[in-house]
Amino acid sequence: MIEIIDSKNASHQFQIKSSSGSTLLTSIEFDIKEGLETALTTLKNLKITRGNFERQTNHEGKFLFNFKDGNGMLLGASQLYDSEAGLENGIKNLINRLTDLTEL
């Protein structure tokens, strides 16, 4: 499921949620609605590879990933995970959700 979020400062974001409702990815903020729509179209047409994911560890030792398009442009970031296995599971769940999008 994709949830569109319009913030008070007139920016737009989307979140991709798992079937259980937890947030897998929160997009960057888009100043104009067309930017958001372009990003969503990109997601539906994206061939996902390992290169789309940038795995990181924050200063508290938590794990997260950034998700990029085929040109390396940042589309969004994950939630924080306590373990590397949790991070990899989050990536797997996101890939499954994105695959569902391409089949619509």
What is the model's pLDDT at position 10? 80
E runs forming strands in 1-104: 2-6, 12-17, 23-27, 53-57, 63-68, 74-77
What is the model's pLDDT at position 45? 87
Summarize the chain as % helix, strand, coil (round to 5).
35, 30, 35
All domains of the chain, ordered by start, with CATH? Answer: 2-102 (2.30.29.80)
What is the model's pLDDT at position 38? 92
Question: Can you give the pLDDT of all 104 residues of the chain as single tens digits?
Answer: 889 988 777 889 999 998 888 999 999 999 989 999 999 998 888 889 889 999 999 999 999 999 999 889 999 999 999 999 999 999 999 999 988 776 55
What is the model's pLDDT at position 103? 58
What is the model's pLDDT at position 84? 96
pTM exceeds 0.85 = yes
